[in-house]
Chain A
Amino acid sequence: MSALAQLAAGLASGAVEVVDLTHTLDPDFPVIILPPEFGQCARFRIEEISAYDHRGPAWKWHNIYMSEHTGTHFDAPSHWISGRDVANGAVDEIPIANFVGPVSVIDCSKEVAQNEDYELTPNVIESWEDRHGVIPEDSWVLMRTDWSKRSGADYLNMREDGPHSPGPTPEGIRYLVEKRNIRGFGTETVGTDAGQGVHYTPPYPAHFILHGAGKYGLQCLANLDLLPPTGAVLIAAPLKIRNGTGSPLRVLAMLEKS
């Protein structure tokens, strides 16, 4: 049997399960908040064109409006100033093979439950590798925090000194990019960086280092608790937006049922 035929058989039998790692595009889903004098990320908006009525008797459809970075979404290298000159840095230029690939999931959910500002450091990654093996080159790494189970004001967790949510330190992200040469990094929070990521050097290290090295970001992921530490395959194909710096996504993962 060919590999694809095996996959199809696995999908049919349920031996291979497909899970949805995507939040619903909802007008009330939080987006990143920047100081108000800066341009802002558009919220998801939906307007009815017709609904089997005088505006169109037999059909229902909507116009939608959003940012490239609204909801569960993809960050391309050209999203960040460090990645502006990276070859194939826009979503329409990225080789499509990069949209499907293996994924490692680092479970930080217990620690994050105790510490909202939990940091992913090289030590954390090394100890994960001691248990699950070295992170393979050109693979996705996701930081599981169970943050996606939060809703409302707890999601951004905004206070007067800014948002508080977990994320990688500059050293942590450098470890993944420079030592492991990963394909990309994903989180359950509103960005790949920690809520307080602006205070690191460089500021927003995940964005700066990942995209500067031509790597990709995934954020606002959901259901990471359904994934095994290793062995799943991630499917995350952004819309083919000309010169797009990112795209809303339907992120799927395929995993083998034990």
Chain B
Amino acid sequence: MTNPLPPPPKKDPQKRTVSPTLPPERRSRASLGLSAAAAEGRFMLQVCSACNTLQYPPRDACCNCLSVDLRWEDVSPSGELLAETTIRTSTNLYFRERTPWRSGSVKLDAGPVIICHVHGDVSPRSRVVLWNRLDRSGQGVILAVPEERTPDMEDDPQLRAMTCDPKHRRVLITDGRNANAPAIAEAFANAGAAMIFVGESETWRPNPQRAQLEAIPMVGVLPLDVTDTSSVRELAGEIGGKTDILVNNARFVRPGSVLARGDTGFAHNEIEVNYFGLMRLAQAFGPSMCARTADGVNSSAAWVNILSAYALMNFADYGCFSASNAAALSLSQSLRAEFRNSGLRLTNVFVGPTEDDWHQPLPPPKVQPQAVARSVIQGLRDGLEDVYCGDVAKDMIERFRAGPKILEREMTMGGAE
């Protein structure tokens, strides 16, 4: 049984903060399919299109017929633990600092035998489920967990090393004026976050959500305006060293395509908040978060952006807004690269039209604040990089993968307002 993780003691100010180390990152290009699947929390393996052989580890050709026509498919993650061992020392720095570390071999019901990490609650020769998770280097690795959930299983040190669980962590939600802020804050409180900082811009005008936010346990509202560099830097100066998870929910959205607007006014605001806002936050909070990814139970763990699914493909009714989110998506990829050496995870939660003032004339389905909050927490618990929240976002990514040009043509069918 996993011992429930106790709240960490206050940090000893005389102790040096442990520098981040990473598990091995090198992979073949074929193996990156596993990382891509792990980024979404899927268990996928290579299947040969010629002879239908399921194979592991990933290779450039089929191990049975040498065909190079291999596709990645979701397969059943169930199997049985064959053998297991506990590693007590390692020449690899990352594992050396984390021993003992359990590892074993699992015979998948679907065929292959897989060498994998083993959760502490798995009994010898028992039925297991394999989870494909991103490790701290951002590569897909496989962890065997018990078939049935066990109490506090998320507190297992090997699992926690791969996830960004909010339990005992301190969170910053950047925009307390966004309609989704109370739901997100509440979800973090329920997930066991130790502190929930909520940024509020322009304290000189009323925030109708202020009272609701302050009623949530652990919430503290602090001034933060992502369009104001001095405000972002000031808050980072104050709490940058204890921000373990940053959720950037700041967003400026107005309907309107390029020609319908006829000016760059709202587009300027969209870029200032949705693109430069992310950049300012990253420049102010990124370095201290990157430096603290190995800082014990409440180490820094993840950076979460809430992006429009129209970042993937422009929706001309919200054409300029979509473009600002595409810019943010691209920037998030740069940040992912910049965060890699630290192991800080960058998670993008993609949402379709949300339930708020600016999508009021659009028909349902619209993404509810609670749904965004659930996706954020799920993404952190599963250590994901990409989360698609709601039917519109899920549909968008499916169509995008099937054929980006077809999706573009579909989305530009004429009639943008």
Contacts and interface: CB of A to CB of B under 8 A. Distances in A.
A27 B231 contact: yes
Interface stretch (B181-189, B202-210, B243-251): B202-210
Interface in B177-222: 202-206
A36 B205 CA distance: 13
B230 A153 contact: no
Contacts of B205: 30, 33, 153, 156, 158
B342 interface: no
A57 interface: no
Contacts, number: 46
Contacts of A47: 229
A27 B225 contact: yes
A152 B203 contact: yes
Given A39-B265, A40-B269, A158 B206 contact: yes
Contacts of A27: 225, 228, 230-231
Contacts of B228: 27-28, 43, 45
A7 interface: no
Nearest to B203: A152
Interface in A137-153: 151-153
Nearest to B263: A39
Interface in B225-259: 225, 227-231, 254
Q: How large is the interface on B (under 10, 10 to 19, 20 to 34, 35 or more residues)?
A: 10 to 19
Contacts of A158: 205-206
Q: Which of A29, A36, A48, A153 has the most CB of B within 10 A?
A: A153
Interface in A27-72: 27-30, 33, 36-37, 39-40, 43, 45-48
Q: Which of A27, A40, A151, A158 has the most CB of B within 10 A?
A: A27
Nearest to A150: B204
A155 B204 CA distance: 7
B227 A43 contact: yes
A152 B205 CA distance: 8
B214 to A, nearest CB: 15
A54 to B, nearest CB: 15
A128 B168 CA distance: 65
Nearest to B204: A30
Contacts of B254: 37
Interface string B154-174: 000000000000000000000
A33 B228 CA distance: 18
A27 B254 CA distance: 23
A29 to B, nearest CB: 8
B230 A46 contact: yes
Contact of A45 (B206, B227, B263): B227
A27 B229 CA distance: 9
Given A39-B265, A40-B269, A153 B227 contact: no
Contacts of A151: 204
A63 to B, nearest CB: 11
Nearest to A163: B205
A155 B202 CA distance: 12
B202 A28 contact: yes
B205 to A, nearest CB: 5
A36 B360 CA distance: 14
Contacts of A152: 203-204
Given A39-B265, A47-B229, A152-B203, 5 more contacts: A27-B231, A36-B357, A39-B266, A45-B229, A156-B205
10 contacts: A28-B203, A28-B225, A28-B231, A30-B204, A45-B229, A153-B203, A153-B205, A156-B204, A156-B205, A159-B206
User: Which 8 pairs of residues, A with B, have the shortest CB-CB distance?
Assistant: A30-B204, A27-B228, A39-B265, A152-B204, A158-B205, A153-B204, A158-B206, A47-B229
